Amino acid sequence: MSSTKETPVPGNFLRHVIENDLAQGTYQSRHWGGSPGDGAHHAAGAPDPARIRTRFPPEPNGYLHIGHAKSIWLNFSLAREYGGVCHLRFDDTNPEKEDQEYVDSIREAIRWLGYDHHLADDPARPGIRQPHEYFASDYFDFMHRAAVYLIEAGLAYVDEQTPDEMRINRGDFNTPGKNSPWRERSPAQNLARFAEMRAGQHPDGSMVLRAKIDMASPNINMRDPAIYRIRHAAHHNTGDKWCIYPMYTFAHPIEDALEQITHSICTLEFEDQRPFYDWLLARLTEGGLLKAPPPRQYEFARLNVSHVITSKRKLRQLVEEGHVSGWDDPRMPTLAGLRRRGYTPESLKLFAERSGVTKSGGWTDYAALDAALRETLDPVAPRAMAVLEPLRLVIENWEEVFGSAAHQQACQAPVHPHLPALGQRSFTLGKEIWIERSDFEETPPKGFFRLFPGNKVRLKYGYVIECTGAEKDATGQITCVRARLLPGTQSGTPGADSVKVKGVITWVNTADALPAQVRLYDRLFTEEQPDAGGRDFLTALNPQSLRVARAWVEPTLAKAQAEDRYQFERHGFFVADRREHTVSGRNLVFNRITGLRDSWGK
Ligand code: ATP
Ligand code: MG
């Protein structure tokens, strides 16, 4: 895949949904209370200045990955495109150990992608930017109130069956469920029991609150789903206030409603939960707790990328067992890892857009991310020469041509071949230079046009040289190549074309090149679907996913700042490592983002 410039942007059915809603004025009557809240709170506010509201709702229990990037791109860009806002909502309704580290990393990743929720434009007040960052645990009071309302309305009951009984009585795809013996308790009895649950009088798992819908529903999610459970556990935000916690299926629609979300976008696994989502919001609206119109849920196929794992549990295993150096190891599909590897926000957004927003799942080739990176970076990345596997070359007639072995001949090259405004790079050519080991062959294979005894090549931006031979050590390893320089052939001078050559090689001068550590990354997994069919994904780890080269780079890279990206000519795209590269300490560390073309596995 050398270029995908013609790749059409696939359709996005959500655009049609939104445009249709805007045309029909579906959400025109909504008010916004200035913060999340119940129906009365919003009714007291002004007409909602946001034409639509979307949200990105990560659970702060891990680092965001490439799949989340798609969801972020989708929600934030749709909001931006249609004059809406997108909320960042930390979905922290689980009292599991939440980590500030995850909250911080999520904020940082979103900011890096260029969607700064902290500074969302407030369309009501041009020039004023207001934050839209929320925590679902702030809604526990309302969720409890909603549960009490359902009980009072005869729409929920406390079930004291054991988890096993509940599972058996739920039935399956072919068998309708059986009503619980506790299903017909009166609202008063249920209220009393629920109050005991809340007061901590019952152990974990002894009873749950269930919505009372239909145990014979063809949709198993409608067979009286559990909505509150007992968990004697402290929560990072609410501490010991609660020992009952809402189930995800109950909490999520309420979070959306309190935030006045219009289009709640999620992945296809949640399709079967949509009837409950609608049921719950309709009941709470009837009960006066919320105002119509309610949010609507839309599902799209999650992003699956070949050679990549996105399960948070498995990513954590890679980190904890030391298969990678951390969450931001440049081989990790986390946004922290992709950033450190050198991928740009533009490339991730282009990749997300091209992967399409559809109803049917599929796999996206990792190569498409590299293609997006090349396309967006090639037009802007400064060029540099680097020798990754250095072999010394000595120009035998240097003194004859330039009068002194110590002479350094000035050379120039454009910073970017198509952006003259970026100016020129300067470096020197001398008697001894570094070339790539692979650019010399003692006995050349057919079609090899670079260095071999008797052949002429151009040193890019320098002179034409003719190879005269090579030296070897005791093991037969080439230690040095010898050549003669053809005077008058310097690039950019009238004589440059006087000698025709078939090969051009890159090089750096031993006198002014800088040492650098260059990390050459390959895919972390050799298999397209590392965890397919229940396989232990660790068996698919690529033992060659990292190779560290001790390279020499041209002197202009002395000013490279961390996260500066370059095209190393003939080698691909590289970034100065954001953790280890330091300019002042002269510790140059570059990561290869990707090669110049898709060559993996070839
Ligand atoms: P995991 O199951 O590994 O814990 P998750 O999907 O549960 O991941 P969340 O933090 O709940 O992680 O995800 C936040 C949002 O990102 C959700 O709206 C979810 O739908 C979306 N998302 C997660 N993975 C993908 C993916 N591969 N493609 C598209 N959207 C995704
Ligand atoms: Mg989740």
* Mean pLDDT confidence for 69-90: 94
pLDDT digits (tens, 9 = 90+) for 216-235: 999 999 999 999 999 999 99
Q: Is 87 in the pocket of ligand 1 (CB under 6 A)?
A: no
Report the separation in Å between the CA atom of 361 and the middle of ligand 2, taken as the mean of its atom positions: 18
Which residues make beta-bridge pairs with 65? 334
Which ligand 1 atom lies nearest to the CA of residue 312?
Answer: 3
Q: Is 303 in the pocket of ligand 1 (CB under 6 A)?
A: yes
% of the chain surpassing 70 pLDDT: 95
1 pLDDT exceeds 50?
no
Lowest average pLDDT, out of 205-219, 450-464, 528-542, goes to 528-542
* Sequence ranges of the chain with CATH classification 3.40.50.620: 1-156+246-303
Report the first-to-last Cα separation within the chain, whole angstroms. 12
Please give the pLDDT value at position 583: 85
Please give the pLDDT value at position 155: 98
Distance (Å) of CA 520 to CA 35, 365, 369:
48, 20, 17
Query: Among the residues of 26-98, which ranges form H helices?
Result: 39-43, 66-81
Ligand approaching nearest to the C-alpha of 57: 1
Residue from 80, 107, 170, 312 carrying the catalytic annotation: 312
Per the structure block, which two tokens stand in for 397?
Answer: 């007639």
Report the separation in Å between the CA atom of 217 and the middle of ligand 1, taken as the mean of its atom positions: 28
Ligand approaching nearest to the C-alpha of 312: 1
- The verdict on whether 550 is a catalytic residue reads no
Say which CATH topology domain 157-245 has. Glutamyl-tRNA Synthetase; domain 3 (3.90.800)
- By CB neighbour count within 10 A (0-12 exposed, 13-18 middle, 19+ buried), where does 138 fall? middle
Give Cα 459 distance to the centre of its chain. 39
Question: What CATH homologous superfamily does 1-156+246-303 map to?
Answer: HUPs (3.40.50.620)
Please give the pLDDT value at position 557: 97
- With bands split at pLDDT 50, 70 and 90, how would you rate the model's confidence at 599? low
Residue from 107, 302, 316, 392 carrying the catalytic annotation: 302
Total number of residues shown for the chain: 602
- The verdict on whether 302 is a catalytic residue reads yes
Q: Is 311 in the pocket of ligand 1 (CB under 6 A)?
A: yes
Which ligand 1 atom lies nearest to the CA of residue 265?
Answer: 18
Query: Among the residues of 334-381, which ranges form H helices?
Result: 335-341, 345-354, 367-377
514 is in an annotated binding site: no
pLDDT digits (tens, 9 = 90+) for 326-373: 999 999 999 999 999 999 999 999 999 999 999 987 789 999 999 999
Give the closest residue (by CA) to ligand 1 atom 25: 67
Q: Is 71 in the pocket of ligand 1 (CB under 6 A)?
A: yes
60 is in an annotated binding site: yes
Pick the CATH number of 306-377+513-602 from 2.60.40.10, 2.40.240.10, 3.40.50.300, 1.10.3720.10: 2.40.240.10
Tell me, what amino acid is at 81?
E
602 pLDDT exceeds 50?
no
Report the separation in Å between the CA atom of 83 and the middle of ligand 2, taken as the mean of its atom positions: 27
- Residues 478 and 440: their CA atoms lie apart, in Å, by 9
302 is in an annotated binding site: yes
65 is in an annotated binding site: yes
Tell me the pLDDT of the chain averaged across its residues. Answer: 94
Mutate to test the pocket of ligand 1, among 55, 64, 68 (most ligand atoms within 8 A of CB): 68
254 pLDDT exceeds 60?
yes
Lowest average pLDDT, out of 100-104, 279-283, 595-599, goes to 595-599
320 pLDDT exceeds 50?
yes
* Mean pLDDT confidence for 407-435: 98
Please give the pLDDT value at position 4: 45
Mutate to test the pocket of ligand 1, among 71, 319, 358, 537 (most ligand atoms within 8 A of CB): 71
Buried b (16+ CB within 10 A) or exposed e, 371-404: bbbbbbbeeebbbbbbbbebbebebebbeebbee
Please give the pLDDT value at position 450: 97
Q: If one looks up domain 384-512 in CATH, what number appears?
A: 2.40.240.10
Report the separation in Å between the CA atom of 56 and the middle of ligand 2, taken as the mean of its atom positions: 11
- The verdict on whether 312 is a catalytic residue reads yes
5 pLDDT exceeds 70?
no
* Sequence ranges of the chain with CATH classification 2.40.240.10: 306-377+513-602, 384-512
Please give the pLDDT value at position 582: 93
pLDDT digits (tens, 9 = 90+) for 123-157: 555 554 557 899 999 999 999 999 999 999 999 99
Please give the pLDDT value at position 6: 52
Give the closest residue (by CA) to ligand 1 atom 14: 58
Residue 115 DSSP symbol: -
* Mean pLDDT confidence for 456-474: 98
516 pLDDT exceeds 60?
yes
Please give the pLDDT value at position 127: 53
